[in-house]
Structures are given as C-alpha cells and as structure tokens.
Chains A and B, each alone.
Chain A
C-alpha cells in the first residue's frame, strides 16, 4: 500500500519532466510545429497534383470512374491541336507581359512608399485593396469597366474628347486590346503582393550603405543599380517566382473577362484545361494540358531560388 502511494507522484512527475523535456527539444518541437502546414500542403496541393499526373496518363472522363493507362497519348494529342498551341503562346505572352509590368511597377511603388509623406498609410491601404478583395468580385468589376456597352473608360475618353462621341473602344473584342486588358487586370491583382515583398526587402537594406554612397556622391541611379538592386535580388526573385507561377497557372481573370476570346486569342493553358477537362468532360486531356508546363515551371522555380540564394549577402 505504501509502495503504491509512494510511486504515483513519482510517475506523474516523470511524465511532466518527459513532456517538458520534449517541449524544449528542437528536434521534436520544430517538426511538431510545422506538421499542420505540411499536412495541409500534402492534402490540398500534393494529393491533387499527383492525382492530376495519374489522370493525365489515363483515359478518364468526367462521367467514368474506371481509367485505363494510355501512356503519353493525351500529351501527344493535345500538342497536335491548334487550340493548344495558340493557348501555349498566349500563356507566355500573358505571363511574361504581366510579370515585367509587375516588377517595374512594384519597384516604383515600393520606392515611393519607402519615403515618409503625409497620408502614407492611406496610400498603402489603397495599394493593398486589390489583394484583399476576392479576385472574382474584383474581376467582375473590371468586366463592367471594360463592357462594350457601358464601359466607363469609353465614357471618360468621350467626355475628355479623346475619342469621338459615338466611338467606342471594344476592350474585350479586339485581340490586342483584350490581351492588354487581361494583362492589366492581372497586374492590378498581383501588384500589391509584389509591392509588399519588395518593400520588405528595401526596408532590410542597412541605411549606412546608402549613407556611405551618399558621401561618395552617388546619384539616384547608382544607388539603385549598384546597391539597391543587388541587395534586393533575393527578395525580388521570390516575388517574381510567385508572380510567374500565378500567371502560368491561374485562369480567374481570363474566365471572367473573355473566356478565351476573341476567337481564342486570350485562351491560356489553365483556361483551356478547364474548358476541356471540367466543362467538356475529358478529364484526362484537361489534366495533360494543365501539366504541360510543369517541367518548365519546376526548372524556373529551381533557377530563381538558386539565383536568390547565390545573391544573398550574409
């Protein structure tokens, strides 16, 4: 009896010690803390991704549960399709065009927001708004702005007498205007994120480096190209990587604004995959279209991250 009474507190105490000990051991605590994030990525990103790979080598349709292995047939079939080649080209135009603009504009905005001026918080709020608002709602707003009948841009241009009273620019009906429109809306959407990332990078550059250059009489451009840009490169690469992946894989803007029109001139791989796989019912071919650029994106991601790591200043 005595023995039992005496050992119980010892056991509880040893359990407490063990837990406290585990809690303080980094090799346990680290994995424990990161486990939910890894689980989330595995379930929400990893599982669908490997499922898509599996589907792309099969003959599955939306209406069938059985699937047979067909090898590379789907990849060969889509490449022989004119629509696919058009979409491939459009994807590059859309991604490269939008990312160039995002990089330039985000740099300009971040440099401006680094300065102190009255109402800075208000401008920061305005710039962040497109990122905070749901993308589908924001794009529907743009649909109205670019509408062929009620375009507020056309109304303004008419009021300013830049175009005639009966003239109308068909923003989503002429190929180059439509591509310009979707790039503009995509830039509007991604600019806040890129600006915030670059702003964080700019804030982390030690002030004394700029001060020393100032003493040596360096101009703005010299400051920018020889100090700011090299030190900003790791952060800018991350922003660019985010942007490139978004531009190559997202279809919200295109789906809402043009659905790939006029006559497929704004069709990108992501929207073509959706129309083929989900709306058209050919899941296997849709999966193949969506995975076509995966090797390229993987290579781009590795290259960007290596550049970012090499240019890190320690």
Chain B
C-alpha cells in the first residue's frame, strides 16, 4: 500500500491534471474542441446576377473551405446597406474577415490591412493587374493598398437597335454627338427619350463622369490636385444641358439605380448607360425587347472615348479581422479560379487579372442566351477603355466623398434643369469639392 502510494509522485499528479485539463473540455464540450477549425467570415452584396450567389455561396466557398480546413460563412446584404454595415463593424471593432465593397473605399484606409502582398502574389501567378484595379485600391500618398480588386463590371452603352435604325444608325451611336443628334430625332419621331439619369444615385454618378472624362474634364488631375473648374468641365455641362433639353424628360431627375433598367425593359427609353444587367434581365423576362437592345463601346467625346467601371469589386480586410492570413489566401485562390466566377456571373464581372480568363473573348463572342450570340463581343477590349472614378488620378478619400454626396450629379442636374447656369453649377460644385479635398488632405489621406 505504502509502495503504491510512493509511485504516484507530485509531478505525475500535475501531469495528469494538465492532461485532464487539456482533454477535459474536448470530452465535456465537443463543440469547443471543433472550434479549433479555422473560420472565415465574408460579407458581400446580393449580386445582381442571382446565379452568381448560388455558385459562390453554395459551391465555391464550400469547396475552398474543405480544401483549407476552414469553415467559411458568407453573409449577403443589399448594396445600399454596405456603408452602414461597415461603419457598424468599425465601431464595434468586430465583424467579417473579408468585406466586399462595390466601389473603392479609401476612407477606411486606417482600418484595413495593406493588400500589397496579395497583389504581389497574384501578380507572380497571373501577371500584372489592370491599371483600373490599382487606381481604385492604392493610395499614392500613404503608399498603401487599402483594398484588393479581383474584378469589375463594365458600363457599356445600351441602345435600342430598332429606334437608332430608324434614324440611320443601326449599329448604334459612336460618339456623344451621335447620341444627341439621333436621340433628338428618335424623341421627335417616336416620343421615346434617351434615358441617362440626372439624379442622386450611382448610375448618374458614373454616366456624368463618363461624359466629363470624354470631354477632357475631371474632378482632379493625375497628381490629385482639384481640377473641376475648367473649360472642359464647362463644355461637358453645357453638352449635358443640351442633351437633356433635346432628348430627355424630367423623369431622369427622379431615378434610382434600377430605374434605367426598368425603363429600358419597358421600352420607354432609347439609350442608357448601364452594366449588362439590362440585357440579362431582358433575356429572361422580355425576349422580344431583348433582341432590340444592343451594346456599344465607350462613346467618343471631343478628347477621348472612355467609359467607367459600373461596379468595382474591392475586398478589404479589417485590421481587427480574426483570420487575416486565411482571408488573403482566399483572395489569391479566388483570383486563380476567377474563370468560374466569370461564367457563373454571366459575364457581369470582368477580371482585373486578365490572364485568369484566357478565353474571355471566345466566351463572350458566343453566348447562347444573347440575341445575337455575339452581343457581348463589344466588351472584348473593355479593359482598354474602362477607367476609375477620379480619372486621371487615383480613387482617393476626397473623390469618394464627392461621389457619395452626389456633388457632380447635382452640378449637372442643376444646370440641365435650368436652376443654375453651367458656370454657377460648376462654381458651387468646385466650392464643395475644395472643402472636401482640404479636409481629407488635412487628415493625411490625400
């Protein structure tokens, strides 16, 4: 008895206790033991093409999670709720590991990790990203990548072939002057107006900047100096005023982001600037009108032919994210497999690393859902004519606030409605822009 007691030393008791402490929770709370498995939480928008979400949420992330021993959860919310959600996560310093914005989000720079290594790894594997991706996610002032962009959505011109055919332009307009002259004739002949928004919403913001940039104007120059009050801006504002008066109706002042989709599919407008969501919806819901809606490349202005991205997919990783390394790996793998996403999204999202979809031109030149099958072929060189908000500079914090508070939209709308002269509207927008630039410069982000 005594001998046996001596065999169990104090050290052994401690060892046994430690072992019990280690194994104990696993026996008592099995769930906690499994919690050792890594998790990755993703938040992104409800995609305009629902089948993309089906593929991403139910197939892609599950397969990726199995391969990487990670439990991946995806939360989808409407695009309108992203800003408020991001604000909430920052305030709580808790949230998702990967947060997808659908526009460049430079104002969150202090809260996110630098994505330089993700870009470098993707570049090593797939070659250089397009300039649009860098201009939308890099801050030259702080030398930091505040986001990572795997893809973007082009913003081509959607036009009614039958209506433009009636005025001698069956292949659609090639320049902004064509839109003005043909749009006027179509409106006079059929009563159907051109449908380019002049409201406080994202599509108007993109369309007005497209015109500004085509006229050689811009909110800033290449070095990030404010450049709004220029002869070129004046010409662009005068042009939009004339375009509105000759080809449109006041309903464009009331539009939201989906109004041009609805109006085009209802046959009530002759032309709109939008992603391919118009044609994709028409293919499903109104095949007859779908045959009449065709796409054309960026329209030429007096200085250049240029178009904007319609949606810029920018993933950010919060500094307080729980699985930063996992999130970075997910992005690199997502880019590697982007061809699947391109097909699942029905060509809505184009790659920022072009080599990841090597047969892009072939795919879009023969789409069985399209009428004709090569309808989307016009997008084959979109990587060359799509640019970022803030062109020719970077999408910085000041540019973002100018965009989000509709400064440019209101400038064009006031002049078009005759509530201010083009000069007055520009002066007012310039004052607002200067104030915003100075503010963000003082904060060291511009």
Interface, chain A (partner B; CB < 8 A): 59, 61-65, 77, 80-83, 143, 147-150, 166, 168, 170-174, 178, 258-264, 275-276, 278-282, 285
Contact = CB atoms under 8 A, between A and B. Distances in A.
Contact of A279 (B110, B259, B404): B404
Contacts of B406: 259-261, 264, 275
16 contacts: A62-B87, A64-B111, A65-B110, A81-B431, A148-B259, A173-B253, A174-B250, A261-B199, A261-B200, A261-B253, A263-B198, A263-B413, A263-B414, A263-B419, A280-B401, A280-B405
Contacts of A61: 107, 443
Interface string B328-346: 0000000000000000000
A83 B108 CA distance: 25
Contacts of A174: 250, 253
A120 to B, nearest CB: 39
B254 interface: yes
B249 interface: yes
B90 A149 contact: no
B407 to A, nearest CB: 8
B410 interface: yes
Interface string B221-255: 00000000000000000000000000001111111
Given A278-B84, A279-B83, 13 more contacts: A62-B108, A77-B435, A82-B432, A83-B405, A148-B263, A170-B254, A171-B254, A173-B253, A259-B201, A262-B417, A263-B413, A264-B200, A281-B400
Interface residues on B, range: 35 or more
Contacts of A278: 83-84, 87
Contact of B404 (A147, A150, A261, A280): A280
B404 A275 contact: yes
Q: Which of A62, A81, A263 has the most CB of B within 10 A?
A: A263
A211 B366 CA distance: 85
A279 to B, nearest CB: 4
Majority SS of interface residues in chain B? helix
B400 A280 contact: yes
Contacts of A262: 198-199, 250, 253-254, 413, 417
A166 B193 CA distance: 13
B57 to A, nearest CB: 25
Contacts of A143: 256
Given A61-B443, A149-B263, A278-B83, A82 B90 contact: no
A219 B100 CA distance: 67
CB-based closest 8 A-B pairs: A173-B254, A281-B107, A262-B253, A172-B254, A148-B251, A173-B253, A263-B413, A280-B401
A232 to B, nearest CB: 39
Contact of A82 (B108, B262, B405, B431): B431
Nearest to A174: B250
Contacts of B442: 59
Contacts of A149: 251, 259, 262-263, 266, 268
B397 A281 contact: yes
